[in-house]
Structure 1
Amino acid sequence: MSLLPAIAAIVIGFALLVWSADKFVLGASNTARIFGLPPLIVGVVIVGIGTSAPEMLVSAIAAMDGKTGLSIGNAIGSNITNIGLILGFTALFYPLIVNSRLIKREIPVLLIIMALSWWFLSDGHLAFFEGAFLLSGMVLMIAYATWEATSNKDDAYSQELLDEIPEEISKNAALMWLLVGIVILIASSKVLVWGAVEVAVHFGLSELIIGLTIIAIGTSLPELAATFAAARKQEFDLAVGNVIGSNTFNLLGVMALPGLIHPSSFDTLALTRDYPVMIVLTVALLVFAIGFKRGKPGGINRFEGFLLLAAYTAYMVYLGISS
C-alpha cells in the first residue's frame, strides 16, 4: 500500500490544525470579550485552552477510534516535547529569564499533578472515573490560575498575558472564526489521526510510539510558535508560562479524554519508559526556573537549553532504536 495518502494526511492535518487553533483563539477570545469577560480571564482561559486545543481534539478523535495508546502517548509526548524541544530550542536563541512568582509556584503544582496522573495510570488501565477526576482537576486548575493572575496583576506573567490577547474584531467576525476554528480543528484532527494510524500499521509501530513522536511534535507546533514569538519579544515569563500551562492541560485535559470516551488498557511502557523522562525534564525545568544564585532570577540559559535539547534528542533516538 502506498504511504503517500497517509503522509499527505499528516502534513495537511498538521497545517490545518495549527491554522484552525489560531483562528479558534481569535474567535473565542473576541466572543468572550464581547460578553464582558475581563482581559486577564480571556488571556488565562481562552488563550490557554486554545493552545492546547490540538492535543485535546486529536486525543478525543483517537479515543473515539479506540486508539487509547495514541491518546496517552500524545499527552506524555507533548509534555516531553514542550520542555525538551520547545524550551530547549528557544533558549539557544533567547536565554529565558524567569521573574514571575506565579510560574515558580506552578511548576511544583505540575509535579504533583504528574504524581496523581501516574497513580491513575499505574494499573495499566484508565477508567471513566479517573478520566472524570482528571477533567475536574483541569477545571479547578483553570479557576486557580485565573484567581492567581487576577490577584497578582502586577506580576510579570500577568502583564505579558494581556499583551498576547488577539486584536479586537467585530461580533460577526468573532462568531464566524469561532465556528470555523472548531469545525476545522475537528476535521483536521480526524485526518491527522487516520494518517498517523496508517503510518503506524505500515511500519509495524505501536500507537504509543506514534503518539509520543509524530503526533506529539505536530500538536505542539502552536506552543513552539507562541513560545518562540514571546521570547523574541523579550516576554520570557510568558514563554515559560505557555509551556507550563500546556503541560498541565495535557495531563488533566488530554489524558482525561481516553478515560472518558474509551476506558481501556494501554501499553505500560508509557509508565516505565516515557513517564520517567517527562518527570526528569520537569524537575530540571523547576531547578533552572527557580535558580539558586542569590540576587539573580532563575531561568534557562543557553547551556541549560542545550542540555534540554540534547536530552530530548537522545530520547527520540532511543525510541527510534527500540522500536
Structure 2
Amino acid sequence: MLLTVAALIVGLVLLVWSADRFVIGASATASILGVSPLVIGILVVGIGTSAPEMLVSAIAAVDGQPGLAVGNALGSNITNIALILGLTALLIPLKVQSKLVTREIPMLILVMLVGYYLLSDGDLGVMDGSILLLGFLLVVLRQIWEAKHSKGDSIEAEFEAEIPRGMPLSVALGWLLFGFVLLLASARVLVWSAVEIAQFFGLSELVIGLTVVAVGTSLPELAASVAAARKNEHDIAIGNVVGSNLFNLLGVMALPGVIAPGAIDPEVLTRDYPVMLVLTGLFFLVARGPRQGRRISRVEGGGLLLLYFAYLAYLLHDAGVY
C-alpha cells in the first residue's frame, strides 16, 4: 500500500507539472503561428488545463472503470467551483469584469441541465456520449467565434500578458510533445493507484473519482487561478474555472459513454449532480450580482469552501469511511 500511495503522489505531481508544460508549449506554438491572444486564452489554455481530466477519464474508461471517469468529471466541477474558486477568493477577492466570462456561466448551466437529462435514465450510452462530444465541438466553435468578435474585452489584455514570448517554435513544440507524453504516463499511474486505493479501503470507483482523482486533476486549475489572481488577472482566474467546467461536462463525461457505455451509479443523479447544479447556481448569482460591482468577496469564497468540505464530509460518511 505504501508503494501505491507513493505512486499516487508521484502521479499527481507529474500530472500538474506536465499539464503546465503542455499549456506553455501549446500557447507558445499557437502564438508563433499567429493565433490571437483571446483564442489562445479561451481555447488553448482552457483545453490544456482540462487535459488531465480528459486523459484520466479516457484511461479509466478503457480499463473498465467508468465510475471513476464519471466521478472525475463531476467531482472536478464541484472542486473547481467550491474548492478552487472559494480558496482563490478567500485569498484574493475577485472582481468580475469580462463580459465573456459572465456570458459563459449561463451556457455552463444550460450544458449541465442537458447533461442531467441525458443521464436521467440511469445510463450513459454511446448516443449520450456522442451528443456531449457534439456539444463540445459546438462550444469550441462558439468560443472561437466569441474570441474573434469580442475585441476590447478586459480579459484580452490579461491573456496577452500570460502568453510566453520569445520561445523558438522547436522549443515550443518540444514542450507540447513532452508535456503530452508525460501527461499520458502520469494519468496512467494516477488511475492505477486510485483504483488500488479504492479497492483497499472498500470505496467505490465513483467516490475515489469524486475525491482524490478530482482534486488531483483539478490542481492545474488551482495553480492557474491563484497565480492569475495574484497578478490581478481576476477574469482569467474565474474564466479558467468556467471554461474547465464546460469542457469537463462535454468532453470528459462523454468519454466513458463512448468508450465504455453502461449504467451509472444512482448516487450520481441523487447526490453529486444536484450538488454541482446548486454550486454553479450560487456561483452565477455571486458573479452576476450587482453588489460590490460583481465581486466575489472573501466571505463568499469562505462560504464556498465550507460547502465543499461539508459535501466531502457527507460523501465520505455516505461511503462508510466513518
TM-score of Structure 1 vs Structure 2, range by shorter chain: over 0.9
Tell me the residue number matched to 2:273: 275
* Amino-acid identity (%): 57
Tell me the residue number matched to 2:297: 301
2:171 aligned counterpart, secondary structure: helix
- 2:313 pairs with 309, 317, 321, which one? 317
Cα distance in 2 for residues equivalent to 1:133 and 1:45: 20
Cα distance in 2 for residues equivalent to 1:213 and 1:57: 17
Unaligned runs of 5+ in 1: none
Tell me the residue number matched to 1:138: 136
Cα distance in 2 for residues equivalent to 1:168 and 1:223: 25
Tell me the residue number matched to 2:233: 235
Tell me the residue number matched to 2:210: 212
Tell me the residue number matched to 1:40: 38
2:285 aligned counterpart, secondary structure: helix
Tell me the residue number matched to 1:186: 184
Cα distance in 1 for residues equivalent to 2:266 and 2:162: 39
Aligned length: 319
Task: Output the TM-score relative to the length of structure 2.
Answer: 0.96
Cα distance in 1 for residues equivalent to 2:59 and 2:216: 15
How far 1:42 moved relative to its partner? 2.0
Q: Deviations over 1:44-90 (max 9, x none)?
A: 22111111010001000000001111000001000000010011111
Tell me the residue number matched to 1:112: 110
Corresponding letter in the other structure for 1:309:
L
Corresponding letter in the other structure for 2:297:
N
Is this contact kept in 2: 1:47–1:165, CA < 8 A? no
Cα distance in 2 for residues equivalent to 1:157 and 1:222: 20
Tell me the residue number matched to 2:164: 166
How far 1:29 moved relative to its partner? 2.1
How far 1:99 moved relative to its partner? 1.3
Q: Deviations over 1:190-231 (max 9, x none)?
A: 100000000000000000000000000000000000000111
How far 1:167 moved relative to its partner? 3.3
Within-5 A mapping of 1:53-132: 53-132=51-130
Cα distance in 1 for residues equivalent to 2:244 and 2:303: 21
Task: Output the TM-score relative to the length of structure 1.
Answer: 0.96
Corresponding letter in the other structure for 1:306:
G
How far 1:40 moved relative to its partner? 2.4
Tell me the residue number matched to 2:9: 11
Cα distance in 1 for residues equivalent to 2:87 and 2:2: 30
Q: Deviations over 1:80-133 (max 9, x none)?
A: 000100111111111111011111111111000000001111112111121111
1:36 aligned counterpart, secondary structure: coil
Tell me the residue number matched to 2:288: 290
Corresponding letter in the other structure for 1:299:
R
Is this contact kept in 2: 1:77–1:216, CA < 8 A? yes
Q: Deviations over 1:161-185 (max 9, x none)?
A: 2222233411221221111111111
Corresponding letter in the other structure for 1:24:
F
Corresponding letter in the other structure for 2:96:
V
Corresponding letter in the other structure for 2:111:
I
Cα distance in 2 for residues equivalent to 1:147 and 1:278: 28
Is this contact kept in 1: 2:42–2:243, CA < 8 A? no
2:121 aligned counterpart, secondary structure: coil
Alpha-carbon RMSD? 1.2
